[in-house]
Amino acid sequence: MNGLKVRFRKLANRWRKPETILAALFLVILVYLVVVPLFSLVQTTLVWGTGDTRIRGENVVVGKFTTYHWRRMLSGDFAEAVFYKPLLNTLIVTAGTVAIVLAVGSLLAYLVVRTDIRWAKLINALATVPYILPSWVLSLSWLQLFQNSTVAMPEGLLSYYTGINAPEWLVYGPIPIMITMGLHYYPFGYLLISGALRSIDSQLEESAEILGASKSYIMRRITMPIIKPALFSTALLGIARSMGTFGTPAILGLPARYYTLSTQIYSLVRTQRQGQGYILALVLLAISGIGLYVNQRVISARRSYATIGGKGVKSRKVRLGKWNTPIAVLTILFLLAVAVFPLVFLTWSSLTLYAGDYSISNLSLHYWIGESNPRFVAGEPGILRNEAVMGAAWNTVKLALVGGLICGFAGLLIGYVVARARRALTSRLLEQVSFVPMLVPSIVFGALYLTLFAVRRGPVPALYGTFALLVLVTVAKQLPYTVRSGVSSMLQVAQELEEAAVILGASWFARLRKIMLPLTKNGFVAGTVIVLITSMRELSLYILLVTPANRVLTTLTYRYIEVGYTQFSNAMTVLLTLLVVVLTYAINAWQKTDIGAGLGGR
């Protein structure tokens, strides 16, 4: 009896600690935002939906159990067309994309980190630019460059200036999808791999050299194994991201009826066939899960590699010699082609009154500031005086700021809980669960929230069509990034710094406000900025969730792309890009000036 009492008191003592309460609170919220949706997703595939009442020859009772969706998706002509074909396409496109990400990412990383290439700083800066561009910028500009009359489109730049008509496979389908997605996603490969390369102490390689190993042998047996975890992470992230990307395959695939899983999910959900669409979502999820499992197996066995070098790493640079300048120029041209020219093309296109005519006389600011004219884009006024566009732009900024701040703060608090009680089961669970959204493809995540918040459930109101739902989905989806930066910045703050304040009688809130938050501000800002950028240019996540009431720039742009308002949507894309760049730049500038002297650490 007494033992029980003591145990109870011990438990009560533990619950007095704010980190325990916070951990429990976050766990409940995360379970609701991440785990419950998964169940709801599975459930939807096993019951009749409201859109199924049209189906003949079946006893359709909405909400009742059925295996109809699975039967239909697994065999027969329908399954062939909407499941197996798109699955194969997805695998092909994903493989191609990841290959490009790895090739471009590692080549650039090698050039910048391990060679004495000229203008390395400029190359490094340019290499990360595609990351902040919306994913479909490249696909739109790809069309702007290659489209022509053979695909029943207005002339693109290539055709206009040279008369060469690109064949259809170069305009639409897997090849352009792979290339544009690969060139959009390579920056994170570049960042991961260059980080790994930087951490290699060249003494490791020099030792091998002294022992008589050849360059290629050293590369194979020493350098590659060390950066292997980074390569695997790159591949895994590449798979998760490109599989869940909607914009690029929609723009470059749908006109040629080339479906991937993400576009197929979209079209099924849009036609009220959630039951079937979500089966595809589960397939995407399963592939990501397998990827995660493989990655864990590969990396956990090699975790000890992560700390190699660390301090005072000496890196001897490979001399490029007389090839230095040509290689540097080529690299810069390539990066400009990927990061800058697309925007130039889109801007140019947005300034042409009639599509396909690039002559001076056709230049016009109509799609930017023109008054409503029924002859163009069904009378939509130019984007800067268009209420729908401006509303969506405002929504985008609002969403990015609100979502970014909430997400950054939540990441920091979760980081605090995790860092304070590394051993506790709750913190390990918390860390694991908060990373799940990273692997759920965006389009699937959107689908999850569509089912979860379509109707009122218990105390949680129906949020479909509200701004709050967009904030929620943003926070949940981007949480892995802020949790990661939150954990690492909290771990950098020695526990003693907080304990000193405990001894001196500061309450938990006082400690948080005066000690922990000021010391982790950099991590907070970094996490918030990432969420901000990602959510502003995110289309796949929101495409299933928006209604005319809560549109954001990306989804509105896609609507105009769908109906073929090329110049108009190009103008919007440019506007969005400008917003992202300006906001990112502003926050960076503000954050730098705001960090006081003495924050250099002890």
| Residue 13 binds another protein (CB under 8 A) | yes
Q: Which is nearer to another protein, 374 or 601 (CB)?
A: 601
Q: Which is nearer to another protein, 347 or 591 (CB)?
A: 591
Q: Pattern 262-301, binding to another protein, x per CB under 8 A? A: ----------------------------------------
Q: Cα separation of 246 and 250, whole Å?
A: 6
Q: Which is nearer to another protein, 296 or 492 (CB)?
A: 492
Facing residues of 460 across strands? 457
Q: Which is nearer to another protein, 458 or 596 (CB)?
A: 596
**Six-digit token string for 238:** 């590449």
Q: Which is nearer to another protein, 319 or 422 (CB)?
A: 422
Q: Pattern 381-420, binding to another protein, x per CB under 8 A? A: ----------------------------------------
Q: Which single residue is written with the structure tokens 């730098």?
A: 592
| Residue 75 binds another protein (CB under 8 A) | no
* Residue span binding another protein (CB under 8 A) among the ranges 315-323, 325-333, 478-486, 496-504: 496-504
| Residue 425 binds another protein (CB under 8 A) | no
Of the candidates 496, 509, 592, 594, which one interacts with another protein according to CB under 8 A?
496
Q: Which is nearer to another protein, 57 or 600 (CB)?
A: 600
Q: Cα separation of 68 and 45, whole Å?
A: 9
Q: Which is nearer to another protein, 401 or 506 (CB)?
A: 506
Q: How far is the CB of 510 from another protein (least distance, A)?
A: 7
42 Cβ neighbours under 8 A, 6+ residues apart: 278, 282
241 Cβ neighbours under 8 A, 6+ residues apart: 185, 441, 442
* Residue span binding another protein (CB under 8 A) among the ranges 2-10, 164-172, 407-415, 542-550: 2-10
**Angular region, 505: left φ>0, alpha ψ -120 to 50, beta rest:** left
Q: How far is the CB of 504 from another protein (least distance, A)?
A: 4
Of the candidates 1, 211, 425, 597, which one interacts with another protein according to CB under 8 A?
597
| Residue 457 binds another protein (CB under 8 A) | no
List the one residue out of 271, 267, 352, 250 whose CA is nearest residue 82. Answer: 267
Residue 232 contacts residue 148 (beta carbons within 8 Å): no
Of the candidates 95, 170, 506, 579, which one interacts with another protein according to CB under 8 A?
506
Q: How far is the CB of 3 from another protein (least distance, A)?
A: 10
Q: Cα separation of 378 and 38, whole Å?
A: 41
Of the candidates 192, 519, 526, 574, which one interacts with another protein according to CB under 8 A?
519
Q: Cα separation of 117 and 280, whole Å?
A: 46
| Residue 63 binds another protein (CB under 8 A) | no
* Residue span binding another protein (CB under 8 A) among the ranges 6-14, 115-123, 282-290, 567-575: 6-14
Facing residues of 65 across strands? 47
Helix (H) or strand (E) holding 77: helix 77-79
| Residue 424 binds another protein (CB under 8 A) | no
**Six-digit token string for 367:** 């799609």
| Residue 596 binds another protein (CB under 8 A) | yes
312 CB-contact burial (10 Å; exposed 0-12 / middle 13-18 / buried 19+): exposed
Q: Cα separation of 293 and 21, whole Å?
A: 31
Q: How many residues at the interface with another protein, by CB under 8 A?
A: 31
Of the candidates 125, 333, 494, 586, which one interacts with another protein according to CB under 8 A?
494
Q: How far is the CB of 586 from another protein (least distance, A)?
A: 24
How crowded is residue 29: how many other Cβ atoms within 10 Å of its Cβ? 14
Q: Which single residue is written with the structure tokens 């926050």?
A: 587
Directed axis angle between helix 85-114 and helix 261-270, to 10°?
A: 130
Q: How far is the CB of 587 from another protein (least distance, A)?
A: 20
**Six-digit token string for 458:** 């218990």
* Residue span binding another protein (CB under 8 A) among the ranges 164-172, 353-361, 457-465, 510-518: 510-518
484 Cβ neighbours under 8 A, 6+ residues apart: 411, 435, 527
Q: How far is the CB of 538 from another protein (least distance, A)?
A: 34
DSSP count for the chain of H helices, then E strands: 31, 0
Q: Which is nearer to another protein, 145 or 490 (CB)?
A: 490
Residue 61: phi and psi, rounded to 5, are -120, 110
Of the candidates 24, 213, 515, 581, which one interacts with another protein according to CB under 8 A?
515
* Residue span binding another protein (CB under 8 A) among the ranges 45-53, 157-165, 452-460, 512-520: 512-520
Of the candidates 80, 116, 499, 562, which one interacts with another protein according to CB under 8 A?
499
| Residue 503 binds another protein (CB under 8 A) | yes
List the one residue out of 180, 191, 184, 183 whose CA is nearest residue 124. Answer: 191
Q: Which is nearer to another protein, 522 or 584 (CB)?
A: 522
| Residue 501 binds another protein (CB under 8 A) | yes
Label residues 415-435 b or e (16+ Cβ within 10 Å = b): bbbbbbbeebebbebbbebbb
SS (H, E, C) 490-531: HHHCCHHHHHHHHHCCCCHHHHHHHHHHHHCHHHHHHHHHHH
Q: What length does the chain have? A: 602
* Residue span binding another protein (CB under 8 A) among the ranges 56-64, 379-387, 514-522, 545-553: 514-522
Q: How far is CA 431 from CA 437, 475, 483, 487, in A?
A: 12, 15, 8, 9
Q: How far is the CB of 588 from another protein (least distance, A)?
A: 20
**Six-digit token string for 3:** 């033992």
Of the candidates 25, 510, 563, 586, which one interacts with another protein according to CB under 8 A?
510
* Residue numbers at the binding site for another protein (CB under 8 A): 2, 5-6, 9-10, 12-13, 423, 494, 496-497, 499-506, 510, 514-515, 518-519, 596-602
